Amino acid sequence: MKYQVIARKFRPQTFEDVVGQSPIVRTLQNAIEMDRAGHAYLFCGPRGVGKTTTARLLAKALNCAEGPTSKPCNQCPSCQEITAGQSIDVLEIDAASNTGVDSIRELRENARYAPSRDRHKIFIIDEIHMLSTSAFNALLKILEEPPSHIAFIMATTERGKLPATILSRCQQFVFRTIPPAEIQEHLKSIAEQEGIRLGEGALDYVVKAAEGSMRDAQSLLDQIIAFGGQEITDEEVREVLGFIPSDILDRSTEALIARDSKALIEIVEIVVDQGLNLQQFVREFLSRIRDLLLAKLGIAEKILGTPEERKKIASDSKEFSEQDLIRFFDMLLRLENDLRWTSEPRFHLEVGCIKLAKVGQLRDIEEVIRELKNGEGPRTEPTPKTTRRARPAPEPEAPGRRAVEAPARKAEPDVPQPEIRSATESARPEAKTPKQAPKPTPAPPVRPSVEESPTPPRTAPPVSKPAVMVPAKSSLEERFRQKVEEKSPTTALYLERVETVREEEDRIVIEVAAKTVANSLASTEHKQILEAAASELLGKAISVSHIMKKASESATEVTSTTSLRESVKNEALVQSFLDVFRGDIKHVKGAEDSKKESGE
């Protein structure tokens, strides 16, 4: 007997055999059983998901000698002729090759005559969206008043291209892509019936490549059987289907874990040398990252592949943070898109891979802030910079870092207030800058002890870490600072740099030394917070204004941009950031202002 392709050989012959479209099948069967079959059906959906198959089954159901029946016999001449595509009363028309109005006129002519033997004259029109406008109009004429013996079953992959007048006269059924598990199950049973032995992952690859289309899956199965015969290994399947060999993907993952850009470049070379498609490589790398992400989220069972592969991916996923993987995914997605138009895909891919390796070293800022908050200090390799940080007394050092945590406070509002207050307060000596240096109390360690003088606790008594807790004085200034911190840690950070805060009749005056700080606090965002805090504190609407401190008192040491940069670098807050992000200061804003101040 002549060889028959799998898709034809295993074409479903009963409604029950249709895979993955049970709601549609059930509806059609019910309609027939209740004698409510329509005259015009429209089956929409992607290629290879069972539209034509279902159309033929419906034709059989309508025309079976035993029917109309929801279970066509497949024995009577009508059923058998439909199966073979030879029924004179069931006409299959491919609209893609008969787009013109003439073919529809011919069809209309034909439709006028009664069926020659069967109950109905059925027209199955495939790719209906390909018809011309005049053809659609001709078709509409029949659909408006169809003879009772006529049934139209139309199929399309592009429902959007159909005129609304046609759509509104059809019963529409939307076919979905077939879930991978159902395709896999079906292929497995076909392989068994054909006596084909497939490797464990082979079907996974076929299912992956089929992208929800049963016909594609079956064609691919044909292809790999033609290549490998009765026994087919996973790697053979990969090769036939044009997948990137799994060891290349494994090596890519390992290189990414090691953040080894050199290794990634070598992998690109291998991909090029083996004549593999670069875009395909990126797509599969992307899919690997997706798998790692799923494993990271604890849903490894969603990953296609053998149990060993899943296990490997799960263990690899521990080497990445969720943020890393999301970032990798985004970058690869962009890279895949870029490769479409670039004239130098290899270079593009190489640079993309280097970026991937580098981006892995970025830290999640939330995580950094959390660490700083917990007083662990930034988790970075020691750099020469850290030696400078050892300069201040050890006591204020840790709290100095704590000052960095302030912006994150919104996330954890239940942290006791005084602790933060005193911590940031005691951080001040470390944050010594030339601007603050000439103040009346220049000795850095002295100031914390002033702050630590035991006074009754203010509002919001602390509940934890009594060792760090220092009751603070409840002066207006202190309460104001605290109020602001409650509202906005960022504003509070700027307020740190303010010299004094005092009440003056109906306003609060803050005295600022650095112009940059003054400018920031004058911005609408901060000003609103300051005024809201002041109003709440004093129980009435109140304005906040700032005055500049005398120039002679401040910034006397700042004479050049370089020394300004150095002085900023010595600030505890700045140092913490420099350490965590391993950065350097490129530019200090406000340098001009400071110079002017010192020059006056």
Residues binding Zn ion (CB under 5 A): 64, 72-73, 76, 79
Residues 6 or more apart whose CB falls under 8 angstroms from that of 533 comprise: 480, 483, 484, 486, 487
Spatial distance between the Cα atoms of 346 and 271, rounded to a whole number of angstroms? 10
Closest CA to 496 of 586, 433, 445: 433
Rounded to a whole number of angstroms, the minimum distance from the CB of residue 29 to Zn ion is 15
Rounded to a whole number of angstroms, the minimum distance from the CB of residue 190 to Zn ion is 25
H/E stretch holding 262:
helix 261-273
Closest CA to 403 of 284, 573, 160: 573
Indicate the length of the chain as a whole number: 600
Spatial distance between the Cα atoms of 380 and 476, rounded to a whole number of angstroms? 40
Rounded to a whole number of angstroms, the minimum distance from the CB of residue 275 to Zn ion is 52
Q: Which is nearer to Zn ion, 82 or 332 (CB)?
A: 82
Q: Which is nearer to Zn ion, 76 or 276 (CB)?
A: 76
Residue type, 219: S
Q: Which is nearer to Zn ion, 64 or 514 (CB)?
A: 64
What's the Cα-to-Cα distance from 257 to each of 264, 292, 316, 360, rounded to whole Å?
11, 12, 8, 8
Rounded to a whole number of angstroms, the minimum distance from the CB of residue 90 to Zn ion is 12
Q: Which is nearer to Zn ion, 73 or 326 (CB)?
A: 73
Three-class DSSP category at 124: strand
Closest CA to 182 of 174, 194, 190: 190
Rounded to a whole number of angstroms, the minimum distance from the CB of residue 66 to Zn ion is 5
The DSSP result for 314-345, as a single string, is HHHHTTS-HHHHHHHHHHHHHHHHHHHH-S-H
Q: Which is nearer to Zn ion, 73 or 359 (CB)?
A: 73
Rounded to a whole number of angstroms, the minimum distance from the CB of residue 327 to Zn ion is 60
Half-sphere exposure of 378 (CA within 13 A, CB side): 26
Long-range contacts from 4-11, C-beta under 8 angstroms, 24+ separation: 5/218, 5/219, 5/222, 6/190, 6/194, 6/218, 6/219, 6/221, 6/222, 7/214, 7/215, 7/218, 7/219, 7/222, 10/190, 10/193, 10/218, 11/53
Half-sphere exposure of 245 (CA within 13 A, CB side): 13
Rounded to a whole number of angstroms, the minimum distance from the CB of residue 75 to Zn ion is 6
Do 308 and 234 contact (CB within 8 A), yes or no? Answer: no
Tell me how crowded residue 247 is: count the other CB atoms within 10 A of its CB: 10
Q: Which is nearer to Zn ion, 83 or 171 (CB)?
A: 83
Q: Which is nearer to Zn ion, 76 or 304 (CB)?
A: 76
H/E stretch holding 569:
helix 561-569
The DSSP result for 214-228, as a single string, is HHHHHHHHHHHHHHH
Rounded to a whole number of angstroms, the minimum distance from the CB of residue 7 to Zn ion is 23
Give backbone dihedrals phi and psi of 407, rounded to 5 degrees, phi first: -65, -20
Rounded to a whole number of angstroms, the minimum distance from the CB of residue 67 to Zn ion is 7
Q: Cα Rg for the chain, rounded, in angstroms?
A: 38
| Beta bridge partners of residue 172, listed in sequence order | 42
Rounded to a whole number of angstroms, the minimum distance from the CB of residue 138 to Zn ion is 32
Spatial distance between the Cα atoms of 57 and 28, rounded to a whole number of angstroms? 10
Do 484 and 533 contact (CB within 8 A), yes or no? Answer: yes
Rounded to a whole number of angstroms, the minimum distance from the CB of residue 249 to Zn ion is 51
Q: Which is nearer to Zn ion, 64 or 220 (CB)?
A: 64
Three-state SS sequence of 481-504: HHHHHHHCHHHHHHHHCEEEEEEE
Q: Which is nearer to Zn ion, 55 or 357 (CB)?
A: 55
Rounded to a whole number of angstroms, the minimum distance from the CB of residue 116 to Zn ion is 16
Q: Which is nearer to Zn ion, 71 or 251 (CB)?
A: 71
Rounded to a whole number of angstroms, the minimum distance from the CB of residue 294 to Zn ion is 47
Q: Which is nearer to Zn ion, 37 or 333 (CB)?
A: 37
Spatial distance between the Cα atoms of 146 and 134, rounded to a whole number of angstroms? 18
Q: Which is nearer to Zn ion, 65 or 460 (CB)?
A: 65
Q: Which is nearer to Zn ion, 65 or 538 (CB)?
A: 65
